[in-house]
Structure 1
Amino acid sequence: MSAVLAESLAPARYVPAALPATTIPVAAGDGIGPEIMDATLAILKAADPALAFHAVTVGLKAYEGGLMAGIGEDTWQAIDQHKIILKGPITTPQGGGYKSVNVTLRKTLGLYANLRPCVSYHPYVTALHPTMDVVIVRENEEDTYAGIEHRQSDEVVQCLKLITRPGCERIVRYAFEYARAHGRKKVTCMTKDNIMKLTDGLFHKVFDEIAPQYPEIATSHMIIDIGTARMASRPTDFDVVVTPNLYGDILSDVAAEVAGSIGLAGSSNIGHDCAMFEAVHGSAPDIAGKDIANPSGLLLSAVMMLVHLGRAKPATDIHNAWLCTLEEGLHTGDIYRDGVSRRKVGTREFAEAVIARLGQQPKKMAAVDYPEREPESLVHPDVSIPPHVNAKKALVGVDVFLNWDTDTRDPNELGAALEGLAGEDFRLALITNRGVKVYPNGNPQTLRTDHWRCRFPALKETVDGQAISRLLMRIADAGFDAVKTENLYTFDGVRGYSQAQGE
């Protein structure tokens, strides 16, 4: 028995909950992963003896075995059987076409909601805002994380940002259901719809449509740049924040650091049928094997897992024991501070300290008390198709993107050539470069690459695909390289495409 464990035994014998047996697939991960997973599982076993753990292959071992996605077949089979996984940090090899394990699991399993509670543990962990308690709800499948990218010329690559109405509705409803289930008072939506009026505009619009269905919850919207700044400077203004994928990725890391450390942040990835709980910090191979890593991030993720499984008592007991350990100054090196910490402990010793405090409650920080619920009791919303989605769709033109390069890159030369190719169905309205109008009457100071968007509106109310095909044939016959097209549609007479800068 360690000195820490011996001196801090609970005053009364701890009695764990009597719960049904459950098996959890476990991926230890890479770097410090095996150490912090061992510590976390020891605590889970002490608080919930009915849990069993099944090791699966994820990360470097899978990559080295030739699996480019870093996931073994045993992992897929275990998740399919148990609908859950607890995962440590993963190292993804650089280059060579290796896929991110996290992204693959989230997208393959439909884990559409990423939850990141960001809580300050002042004064035991240094925090910029001692009373911070925010939950980031991040859409987890769409946006630029669809991973659809193309190189279209020597100088230009593109990444498609995909936002869907069903995806927006699902994550927004989930954020409100989470707030309702956990007694949260406010949900804030963050987007950049002052610039991306269609994609982010759709997310904001769906939020505004759904919010009135939860009249007891206050709502607000913020542009993501000022919203992120406010999260860093005034996080107590927020309660639950819902946002698209990329913004949520950045915002949740900012919030975790402001709260104290990303190393303490728990995370869950929730789908209709499956869930993944993981540490969000890196694998830290430089400190692997030294028994100094802090297991708290993975442990708090495991607490979220217990809540998800309807195992409220062990979740409450572990979380409170962890808070007691912080209060008593038994800290790993990453959060150790002279004058605040009482002793610097290693990974195993920290886990022993938490186990010894099972059944205790913190005296200075607020204790937690997870309510008893049925497993996976949080509502998973079904998406609807409002009548206005079935809009009358009309094809009214086409944007043709050309890879065109000359010594001068003169847009007037390109425009003159394309004017003669527009034919009887179209007119050349404008040419843009990097989204900025360069023809007609462009600014000569605009930086011009070898990638040009050429907008051809229809001369009639609508056109058909054959007219666009004929236009593309004329462009090809003239020697131009059309690398991409985007049809221009209206929906119930409302334009479904953005204007160019300067249009």
Structure 2
Amino acid sequence: MNAFPASPEPTTHTSSDGASAQVQLSPTPRRRLEETGVVPIAVAYGDGIGPEITESVLRVLDHADAPLSYDVIEVGRSAYERGITSGIPDEAWDAIRRNRVFLKGPITTPQGGGYKSLNVTIRKALSLFANVRPTTSYAPYVASPHPDMDLVIIRENEEDLYAGIEHRQTQEVHQILKLITRPGSERIVRYAFEYARAYGRTNVTCMTKDNIQKQTDGLFHEVFREVAREYPDIESDHQIIDIGAARVAAQPEAFDVIVTPNLYGDILSDIAAQIAGSVGLAGSANVGAQVAMFEAVHGSAPDIAGRGIANPSGLLVAATQMLVHIGASEVAQTIRNAWLRTLEDGIHPADIYREGVSKQKVGSEGFTNAVIDRLGDSPKHLKPVRFKSCGIRVSLSERPNQKKELQGVDVFIDWDQHDRDPDTIGHGLSMAAKTCGWTLKMITNRGVKVFPDGLPETFWTDHWRCRFLPENGGTVTFDSVLELLGVLHGDGWDVIKTEHLYTFDGERAYSLGQGE
């Protein structure tokens, strides 16, 4: 995939940035455009550099006659300071849900306990399941070692570790739950393949860590294989995330569309944006069935706020994704081409300015004025964009329920006595379990088997997973689990957590201990 033409003659291509078009999307924004010629959108100026770059973007939209009206809302720092721990007042929720389209400046989430990420809250509360980040190199005008880079990262947006379910369980151990669901995986994987088909992409790569996380990432990979078979016109492959991320950093031109769970997609997106030239140039779409949110990839950068030097490009790119989403593709095309022409003419903010390549260093206002002055122009050497408005629809397959059977229970114990000798805890738990028909199968510490027959070199903390199975292969019931827990508690063991061990259609649905 050549991102730029060999000759200086202008060329056209269909950009992937319209990928936020529809996912069983409510037709409200497009219908409003058709009926009234104006689409109301919710706008939040954000924190840090947010007000500066948002004002710049709105000026460009207005000068380009974008068919928009603005419903300005308060979210972020000012809301946090008023004691709204979500950062989103009720009236802001109402405006976002009413308008269904949300252009958001970067937000600062206060550090420390009691505050949740506003971005994560919005994505999850409104089921904005698809995060779409096209990443293109703009070399030689913006420094990048990968001039042919043109990839799109489609990240699952609601699940994984970003569920934010964390607990402190002992003096030494904290945990977070990683949640991967089949519907969530299928929805994002199908979106990726439909995206590729709609926008002329030829390959979809799945990245997971299922060689280690066999249940969670294993499910995501399994769903990917199942869905890929339904798209024989699109090539597909899978890579382990660590080598995949290394290849994105070293050979991004080898990738077309990447689909991945939440955390990996977050990391990959910033890697891709940085090697393309600058995180400051990347926009992001967060798409759901009813609402879509558009934002820059970068954060609020409070260290440069108020200095007039912030680059508004990331939010401007996101705004063009938004325009495609609502059906105003021609306006999006006009703005993006003017922006490309500005980059090509060497008029650059400080974050991408380079001696010998850039011709003029400008601040936020100067860069904004340069884009406005070039509305109607197209780049001469970079590829002009030609957006199209095509919808992407995703439906989920039906699967029969599997037979679920309880086989045993993992009981987590907080225990910090007798030099933490696993043999001591193992013998004590074994004796207690036998009194009610259970057998202690093993104990692990941080996932590594330490009883029976553990190794003395293994580091032990105060958090022990103790796997109990019914004696002589007997039947497990919920009542028998409660009886076991009652016996353990009565003997003075500090039970902090349990996990039931199930099979589904006879297949084990829990991990073995390392060394088991």
For Structure 1 versus Structure 2, the TM-score category normalised by the shorter chain is: over 0.9
Residues 170-189 of structure 1 mapped to structure 2, 5 A cutoff? 170-189=187-206
Give the AA of the match of 1:402. I
Are the aligned partners of 2:67 and 2:328 in contact in 1 as well (CA < 8 Å)? no
Which residue number corresponds to residue 496 of structure 1?
509
Which residue number corresponds to residue 396 of structure 1?
407
Give the AA of the match of 2:226. E
Which of 459, 462, 471 is matched with 1:450 structurally? 462
Deviations 1:90-141 (A, max 9, x none): 1112114122110111111111111111111001111121111111101010
Give the AA of the match of 1:416. H
Which of 491, 509, 514 is matched with 1:478 structurally? 491
Q: Is 1:59 paired with 2:70? A: no
Change (3 A) 1:42 1:337: same
Q: State the Cα distance separating 1:384 from its structure 2 match.
A: 2.5
Which of 185, 188, 209 is matched with 1:192 structurally? 209
Deviations 1:215-262 (A, max 9, x none): 111100000000000000011111000000111111111111111111
Structure 1 stretches of 4+ with a deviation exceeding 4 A read none
C-alpha separation between the residues in 1 aligned to 2:178 and 2:269? 20
Deviations 1:393-435 (A, max 9, x none): 1111111110011131111111111111223532111111110
Give the AA of the match of 1:406. Q
Q: State the Cα distance separating 1:372 from its structure 2 match.
A: 4.0
Deviations 1:463-488 (A, max 9, x none): 10111111111111111011011111
Deviations 1:479-498 (A, max 9, x none): 10110111111111100100
Which of 419, 438, 442 is matched with 1:430 structurally? 442
Give the aligned CA root-mean-square deviation in angstroms.
1.3
Change (3 A) 1:475 1:192: same
C-alpha separation between the residues in 2 aligned to 1:73 and 1:278? 21
Residues 415-426 of structure 1 mapped to structure 2, 5 A cutoff? 415-423=426-434, 425-426=437-438
Are the aligned partners of 1:393 and 1:489 in contact in 2 as well (CA < 8 Å)? yes
C-alpha separation between the residues in 2 aligned to 1:461 and 1:383? 38
Deviations 1:434-461 (A, max 9, x none): 1001011100110001111111122335
Which residue number corresponds to residue 325 of structure 1?
342
C-alpha separation between the residues in 1 aligned to 2:362 and 2:112? 37
C-alpha separation between the residues in 2 aligned to 1:44 and 1:445? 63
Give the AA of the match of 2:408. G
- 3-state DSSP of counterpart to 2:83: coil
Deviations 1:19-38 (A, max 9, x none): 81111110010111111111
Q: Is 1:339 paired with 2:356? A: yes
Which residue number corresponds to residue 68 of structure 1?
85
Give the AA of the match of 2:230. Q
Name which of structure 1's ranges 281-290 and 130-139 shifts more when overlaid on structure 2. Answer: 281-290
Which residue number corresponds to residue 256 of structure 1?
273
C-alpha separation between the residues in 2 aligned to 1:164 and 1:461? 31
Q: Is 1:279 paired with 2:296? A: yes
Name which of structure 1's ranges 292-301 and 279-288 shifts more when overlaid on structure 2. Answer: 279-288
Which residue number corresponds to residue 4 of structure 1?
none
Which residue number corresponds to residue 378 of structure 1?
392
Which residue number corresponds to residue 440 of structure 1?
452
Are the aligned partners of 1:56 and 1:72 in contact in 2 as well (CA < 8 Å)? no
Ranges in structure 1 where 5+ consecutive residues have no aligned partner: 1-16
Q: State the Cα distance separating 1:382 from its structure 2 match.
A: 2.5
Deviations 1:256-286 (A, max 9, x none): 1111111111001001100000112121222
TM-score (norm 1): 0.94
Which residue number corresponds to residue 94 of structure 1?
111
Which residue number corresponds to residue 414 of structure 1?
425
What is the number of equivalent residue pairs in this alignment?
Answer: 481
Which of 343, 362, 376 is matched with 1:359 structurally? 376
Give the AA of the match of 2:371. V
Which residue number corresponds to residue 416 of structure 2?
405
Give the AA of the match of 2:365. R
TM-score (norm 2): 0.91
Change (3 A) 1:161 1:292: same
Which residue number corresponds to residue 21 of structure 2?
none
Change (3 A) 1:49 1:268: closer
Give the AA of the match of 2:74. T
C-alpha separation between the residues in 2 aligned to 1:272 and 1:478? 52
Change (3 A) 1:49 1:408: closer
Are the aligned partners of 1:415 and 1:431 in contact in 2 as well (CA < 8 Å)? yes
- 3-state DSSP of counterpart to 1:117: strand
Ranges in structure 2 where 5+ consecutive residues have no aligned partner: 1-32
Q: State the Cα distance separating 1:182 from its structure 2 match.
A: 1.2
Which of 496, 500, 503 is matched with 1:487 structurally? 500
Give the AA of the match of 2:430. E
Are the aligned partners of 2:137 and 2:144 in contact in 1 as well (CA < 8 Å)? yes
Give the AA of the match of 2:402. A
Which residue number corresponds to residue 36 of structure 1?
53
Which residue number corresponds to residue 469 of structure 1?
482
C-alpha separation between the residues in 1 aligned to 2:48 and 2:503? 52
C-alpha separation between the residues in 1 aligned to 2:498 and 2:195? 41
Deviations 1:154-203 (A, max 9, x none): 01111000000000000000111111111111100000000001100000
Which residue number corresponds to residue 349 of structure 1?
366
Deviations 1:315-367 (A, max 9, x none): 11111110000010111111111111111111112111111111111110111
C-alpha separation between the residues in 1 aligned to 2:194 and 2:319? 21
Q: State the Cα distance separating 1:72 from its structure 2 match.
A: 2.1
Q: State the Cα distance separating 1:48 from its structure 2 match.
A: 2.8
Which residue number corresponds to residue 10 of structure 2?
none
C-alpha separation between the residues in 1 aligned to 2:180 and 2:66? 43
C-alpha separation between the residues in 1 aligned to 2:475 and 2:156? 36
Are the aligned partners of 1:397 and 1:426 in contact in 2 as well (CA < 8 Å)? no
Are the aligned partners of 2:325 and 2:389 in contact in 1 as well (CA < 8 Å)? no
The higher relative CO (CA closer than 8 Å, separation ≥ 6) is in 2
C-alpha separation between the residues in 1 aligned to 2:168 and 2:103? 37
Q: State the Cα distance separating 1:52 from its structure 2 match.
A: 1.0
Which of 62, 74, 81 is matched with 1:45 structurally? 62
- 3-state DSSP of counterpart to 2:485: helix
Give the AA of the match of 2:351. D
Which residue number corresponds to residue 247 of structure 2?
230
Which residue number corresponds to residue 473 of structure 2?
460
Q: Is 1:153 paired with 2:167? A: no
Q: State the Cα distance separating 1:49 from its structure 2 match.
A: 4.1
- 3-state DSSP of counterpart to 1:55: strand
